[in-house]
């Protein structure tokens, strides 16, 4: 098998603004695993602020230890290849994710199957939420109305910057969009445990009907997250606290959250993600699948996963919706619905530019 990496830069139709940065492009690393005839594709997103993975680091890991680990293996030895990818290096979840997905994609193509069909799904549609860019209360309210008009019925608001302002911003968005659309919050570790309880209870008392609150406190503070989970009615979703199985077991043991957000770029691909989703289900923990700012390859793999392994609520797979031009063919958005491709694998036929 031949492994090739491609750096891509895809422009967004609308700047994506978070508390940490303003993005106008998605910079990403695509990987192509070829058997000489067919190619499987995967993606390693750049995620400095969460996993620490960079394009340069992922490229070095893929071209170095992962390529070495796969040396001499044939494309039909999927289980062994996936095992070697995970063992090739410590960390580097983006690199492992990219090659794990590319190997699955290639295996599906060699059988003439879609990736989601290969994973066991018969469903061609999955739902996603959409995140509102960070702004003041008025800008958020406008963005909320715009996204509902775009066909989204589950909106996610980034909070966690200042507790008092957060309450006001969320109330204004709820007022602007009316009672129907679902509203979920992501604090990205930004609150103290006391702030978290204060804000969430205030929103409960104000009747804002928040579906769930993601990562209210610091990733390493499982005690704090358990403290919050015990004191509010709104479900708590662990994101940055959970990369792999060991983290998920700790969350389950401590009762630290009600749900877990599984992301391919945190756990290292489809094989580890399936393990996490099965573990969550066995222990009665809710789950969603999310993504980083990445293109149709990474989001398409996550969408294929949830179509085969249903999660307990709407997933967080809007990243590729923000792209003005797709760097590859594959999934297609229709408001909150993601159409999975009917072409083999991820439906990628090569780079479009
Ligand atoms: Mg999150």
Give the model confidence (pLDDT) of 286-323 as tens digits.
999 999 999 999 999 999 999 999 999 999 999 999 99
pTM over 0.95: yes
pLDDT-based confidence at residue 172 (cuts at 50, 70, 90): very high
Task: Sketch the domain layout of the chain as residue ranges.
Answer: 2-111, 118-339
CATH architecture of residue range(s) 118-339? Alpha-Beta Barrel (3.20)
Q: How far is the CA of 8 from the centre of ligand 1 (A)?
A: 24
Under DSSP, is residue 228 helix (H, G, I), strand (E, B) or coil? Answer: helix
Note the Cα 117 to chain centre separation in Å: 20
Alpha carbon of 263 to ligand 1 centroid (Å): 10
3-state secondary structure of 325: coil
Half-sphere exposure of 115 (CA within 13 A, CB side): 32
324 alpha carbon – ligand 1 mean position (Å): 23
Q: How far does the centroid of ligand 1 lie from the alpha carbon of residue 187, in Å?
A: 8
Check residue 62 and give its pLDDT: 98
At 32, is the secondary structure helix, strand, or coil?
strand
Domains 2-111 and 118-339 share a fold: no
Active site residues: 158, 263
Residue 51 has pLDDT above 90, yes or no: yes
Measured in residues, the chain has a length of 353
**Residue 162 marked as a ligand binder:** no
Cβ burial 218-231 (10 Å sphere, 16+ → b, else e): bbebbebbbbbbee
CATH 3.60.20.10 fits 2-111, yes or no: no
| Listed residues: CB within 5 A of ion ligand 1 | 186, 214, 239
d(CA 297, CA 104): 12
State yes or no: 316 annotated in a binding site: yes
15 close to 24: Cβ distance less than 8 angstroms: yes
Sorting pLDDT into bands at 50, 70 and 90, what band is 353?
low
Measured N-to-C along each axis, helices 163-177 and 193-205 cross at an angle, to the nearest 10 degrees, of 30
CA distance 343 to 62: 26
- Three-state SS for 135? coil
Residue 93 belongs to what H/E stretch?
A: helix 93-110
Which residue, chain included where needed, has tokens 């293109």? Answer: 295
Q: Is 221 annotated as a binding residue?
A: no
305 burial level (CB within 10 Å; 0-12, 13-18, 19+): buried
Residue 89 burial by Cβ neighbours in a 10 Å radius (0-12, 13-18, 19+):
middle
Over residues 72-88, mean pLDDT: 96
């Amino acid at each position: 098998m031949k492994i090739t990496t491609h750096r891509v830069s895809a422009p967004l139709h609308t700047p994506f603004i978070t508390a940490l940065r303003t993005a106008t492009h998605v910079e990403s690393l695509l990987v192509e695993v070829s058997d000489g005839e067919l190619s499987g594709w995967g993606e390693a997103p750049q995620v400095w602020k969460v996993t620490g993975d960079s394009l340069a680091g992922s490229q070095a890991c893929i071209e170095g230890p992962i390529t070495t680990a796969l040396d001499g293996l044939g494309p039909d030895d999927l289980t062994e290849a996936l095992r070697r990818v995970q063992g090739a290096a410590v960390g580097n979840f983006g690199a492992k994710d990219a090659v794990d997905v590319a190997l699955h994609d290639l295996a599906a193509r060699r059988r003439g199957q879609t990736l989601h069909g290969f994973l066991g799904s018969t469903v061609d549609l999955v739902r996603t939420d959409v995140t509102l860019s960070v702004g003041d209360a008025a800008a958020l309210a406008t963005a909320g109305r715009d996204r509902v008009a775009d066909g989204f019925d589950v909106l996610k608001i980034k909070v966690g910057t200042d507790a008092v302002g957060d309450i006001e911003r969320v109330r204004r968005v709820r007022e602007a969009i009316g009672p129907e659309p679902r509203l979920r919050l992501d604090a990205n570790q930004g609150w103290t445990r006391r702030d978290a309880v204060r804000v969430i209870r205030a929103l409960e008392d104000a009747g804002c009907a928040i579906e769930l609150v993601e990562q209210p406190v610091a990733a390493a503070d499982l005690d704090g997250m358990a403290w919050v989970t015990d004191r509010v009615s709104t479900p708590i979703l662990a994101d940055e606290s959970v990369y792999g199985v060991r983290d998920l077991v700790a969350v389950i043991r401590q009762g630290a959250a009600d749900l877990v957000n599984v992301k391919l770029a945190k756990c290292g691909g489809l094989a580890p993600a399936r393990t996490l989703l099965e573990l969550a289900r066995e222990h009665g923990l809710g789950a969603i699948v999310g993504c980083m700012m990445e293109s149709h390859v990474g989001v398409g793999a996550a969408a294929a996963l949830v179509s085969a392994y249903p999660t307990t609520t709407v997933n967080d797979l809007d990243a590729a919706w923000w792209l003005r031009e797709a760097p590859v063919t594959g999934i297609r958005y229709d408001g909150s619905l993601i159409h999975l491709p009917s072409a083999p694998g991820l439906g990628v036929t090569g780079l479009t530019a």
